[in-house]
A and B are shown apart, each in its own frame.
Chain A
Amino acid sequence: MLWSFFHDSLLIWINNFPLLGCIIIIFIPRNQLVLIRFFSLIISSLTFLITIYLWILFDESYFYFQFVISKKILNFELIQYFLGVDGISLFFIILTSLLIFVCFLLNWNANEEYNKEFLILFFMIESLLLNAFSTIDLLLFYIFFEGVLIPIFTIIGIFGSRTRKIRASYQFFLYTLLGSLLILIAILLIYFETGTTNINFLYNVDFYERKQLLLWLAFFASFAVKVPMIPFHIWLPEAHAEAPTSGSIILAGILLKLGGYGFLRFSLPLFPYASFYYSPLIYTLSIIAIIYASLTTLRQVDLKKIVAYSSIAHIGYVILGIFSFNVQGLEGSLLLILGHGFVSSALFLCVGVLYDRYKTRILKYYSGLTTFIPLFAVLLFFFTLANIGLPGTSNFIGEFIILIGLIQTSVIATIFSTSGIILSASYCLWFYNRLIFGNLKENYFKFLQDISKKEFMALIPLVILTLIMGLYPNIFLHSIHITILRLLTHII
């Protein structure tokens, strides 16, 4: 009885389990920090395990949304708590729960400043993101999409590392909010035209071409800021540089993926004509993002900014894949989103390891670390190679499949975007070389210490997942293939 209740409302459990964590933590006294962290870790690991169970139950051959739940919240037809999972959202959900678990593991014996409120904010982010990825209602998606702003704004603004954190948090908030206002107007227009915000119904609506062009632009304004695409990217390096390590992991690993998810879930199937119409513009912005962001990465001296700008370049590939309108491009973009989620989070974690010890992220101070912290050097080398897209790692599979898809659409765009691979090798290897090799600058360092067991345990799952995806991507591709085919039936 209880099992069937759990089984029937699996998505509600997954999405609201973190809220249970919030409630438990609220009632634990502030001075019991070990107990608070213990419960956080238990709740987040349970959420992750339930999402894995969701994957096990997921039917790879089913065409439509699965585990569908519909609950009427208010006596008002417009707002319904309508949830469902398909191949696109499944891995976003798993990635969210995994990275939140990694963040809690990382904060296990962190400073006391990362206290009860910090953990509550993370549970809020987790719940909002899980809801955003599993809702199949446009209005609810908007609510959760915007809701994530508040805890992230607080995390950067309060728990950030430097004085520029206030500026960074406001920049992040204003950029995202400004873009999102247009999407709200678009949602209201869609509702007044169709009478629903349910995606299942909206997928069958054929919007008039001129209307599609306008609505697509409104959605684009929001998702392009979130992704972010050049020239809407200014907030990202600032936010990353000021956020605490866990905040950066969530920002790079999941939050940026909301934009890509939005393009896949809404822009492409709802406005196919407009997506084709604007595709040269999107290609141009993505190529510019790949080349300019890579060149900008080359001249950064802040470790976090290096990873942040390289994220912008990689997301350029994701967008190119999404707008290549074929199976390879779309599947490749989903794989790269996932792979980038593992690799960029791990790189931020590695930067966090250095910052926790030496309280600086400026590259000028570091050199010759391999002699004194070899384990860290090996792990960083692995993730640097994965960031380049070395065969056998997750990013290679994603980028390779995207380029296969892209060349069928535009040879010119493929030629331009492949230059990004060379550039990424340049900045990644230069970054690693400056940090790890050479002579240690002894006048800056008193003593050095390799990574702790806790940090190692946080990094190892990401190493394993990066390798699994790089060596046997079919595990993931099987689950997304049918959904991508369904998506293409709406487009082509």
Chain B
Amino acid sequence: MGAMQVKKNPYVEAWVAGRETLEERFRFTPRNIRTALLFGVLVPYGIYLLVAHDMAESKSTDRPEWKHLKREFPGVPVRSADSAQHS
């Protein structure tokens, strides 16, 4: 099957090699730092807050209640079931 080997294009090979060694050329520029903070910190933290709030308020819905879940998640303010009902 070796006879079927593709005729390689040096430009494509160089382009792919460049993509594979991206970490060697990476520099922390202001733009990169902004992007890293946005997608590495802010977006995950936003998702975390949304998910944790959703799970913490699950008692006010008809979703099953878990004996182990004390509805206290790091960084998320606790809202008790009573206050949820009053509000």
Q: Could you tell me the distance between the alpha carbons of A2 and B72 in the complex, rounded to whole angstroms?
A: 58
Stretch from B25-33, B50-58, B77-85 at the A interface: B50-58
Q: Could you tell me the distance between the alpha carbons of A289 and B17 in the complex, rounded to whole angstroms?
A: 25
Q: Is the CB of A413 within 8 A of B51?
A: yes
A448 within 8 A of B: yes
**Quick one: CB contact mask for B12-40 with A, threshold 8 Å, 1 for yes?**
11011001100000000000000000010
Partner of B58, one of A281, A284, A360, A409: A409
A443 within 8 A of B: yes
Task: State the main secondary structure of chain B at its contact with A.
Answer: helix
Q: Is the CB of B51 within 8 A of A358?
A: no
A84 within 8 A of B: no
A446 within 8 A of B: yes
**Quick one: CB contact mask for A199-217 with B, threshold 8 Å, 1 for yes?**
0000000000000000000
B67 within 8 A of A: yes
A398 within 8 A of B: no
Residues facing B in A292-337 (CB within 8 A) are 292, 301-302, 325-326
Q: Could you tell me the distance between the alpha carbons of A443 and B12 in the complex, rounded to whole angstroms?
A: 13
B86 within 8 A of A: no
Task: Please name all residues of chain A whose beta carbon is closer than 8 Å to the beta carbon of B72 when the two chains form the complex.
Answer: 277
Binding site for A on B (CB under 8 A): 1-9, 12-13, 15-16, 19-20, 39, 43-44, 47-48, 50-55, 58, 63-64, 66-70, 72-74, 76
Q: How many A-B residue pairs have CB under 8 A?
A: 102
Contact flag A284-B44 (CB < 8 Å), given A276-B69, A357-B1, A448-B4: yes
Q: Is the CB of A446 within 8 A of B7?
A: yes
Task: Please name all residues of chain A whose beta carbon is closer than 8 Å to the beta carbon of B44 when the two chains form the complex.
Answer: 284-285, 288
Q: Could you tell me the distance between the alpha carbons of A110 and B12 in the complex, rounded to whole angstroms?
A: 28
Q: Is the CB of B68 within 8 A of A273?
A: yes
CB-based nearest B residue for A162: B20
Shortest C-beta distance, B66 to chain A (Å), equals 6
Q: Is the CB of A362 within 8 A of B16?
A: yes
CB-based nearest B residue for A326: B64
Shortest C-beta distance, B69 to chain A (Å), equals 5
Q: List 19 A-B contacts (CB under 8 A).
A: A273-B68, A277-B69, A280-B76, A287-B47, A287-B51, A288-B43, A288-B44, A360-B8, A365-B6, A365-B9, A365-B12, A444-B7, A444-B9, A445-B6, A445-B7, A446-B3, A446-B4, A446-B5, A492-B68
Task: State the main secondary structure of chain A at its contact with B.
Answer: helix
Q: Is the CB of A325 within 8 A of B6?
A: no
Q: Is the CB of A358 within 8 A of B4?
A: yes
A259 within 8 A of B: no
Task: Please name all residues of chain B whose beta carbon is closer than 8 Å to the beta carbon of A445 when the two chains form the complex.
Answer: 4, 6-7
Task: Please name all residues of chain A whose beta carbon is closer than 8 Å to the beta carbon of B73 when the two chains form the complex.
Answer: 277, 280
A449 within 8 A of B: yes
Partner of A411, one of B4, B16, B54, B67: B54
Partner of A408, one of B5, B52, B64: B64
